[in-house]
A and B are shown apart, each in its own frame.
Chain A
């Protein structure tokens, strides 16, 4: 089946640890995004990538890092510099900038203990 796979679904982290969230897609879509979702705040853009080996900061990039070495993969690292990392993280893709439709993975819930 074509789709977007995020892993792990649930992750617990101690303060001071870096963690990496995986996002893999087999839709052959060009662009990939990472959003953070907090209650009452909607979705906020962390990073996005339109092509391999290129990515741009979104509105809340501080404390996060990404890579885009393959078209299918866009992992997100939540570093210890992120002050409030507990949240629901969503990966999304779209085919090209002129179609407008954004598709999401199932999300990863990160809890910092």
Chain B
């Protein structure tokens, strides 16, 4: 079993829809949770960063962490065609060098 599981998609939604992207993990020591957006042939861009449990909101984006279920989510409200990209989740343990990435979910927002 992989430490981090992420559905590869592709996920296609109409413009304006609410998008839900998810990752599950098995290591209960993870404390930092990140979401990255990656456009084709570009480096990943850090979207959201959460420490421990709870929710964090930034504009149209909301990140949720449920440590009891080992489940994290990224919600995108009022999705736009410019949101079409691959979304990667990533996790790490405090005080270590190691980051574990999901394989990424490819999102297409249709105009």
A68 on the B face (CB < 8 A)? no
Question: Interface size of B by Cβ–Cβ distance < 8 Å?
Answer: 27
A-B contacts counted at CB < 8 A amount to 59
**B97–A42 touching, CB < 8 Å:** no
Size bracket of the A interface: 20 to 34
Given contacts A97-B96, A100-B92, A101-B49, contact A42 B101 (CB under 8 A): yes
Which of A56, A101, A107 interacts with B46 by CB under 8 Å?
A: A101
**B97–A102 touching, CB < 8 Å:** no
A25 on the B face (CB < 8 A)? no
A41 on the B face (CB < 8 A)? yes
Residues of B within 8 A of A101 (CB): 32, 34, 46, 49
**A107–B97 touching, CB < 8 Å:** no
Residues of A within 8 A of B (CB): 4, 6, 31, 40-43, 45, 48, 50, 56, 88, 90, 97-98, 100-107, 109
The 6 closest A-B pairs by CB, nearest first: A100-B32, A104-B43, A42-B103, A43-B101, A106-B43, A42-B101
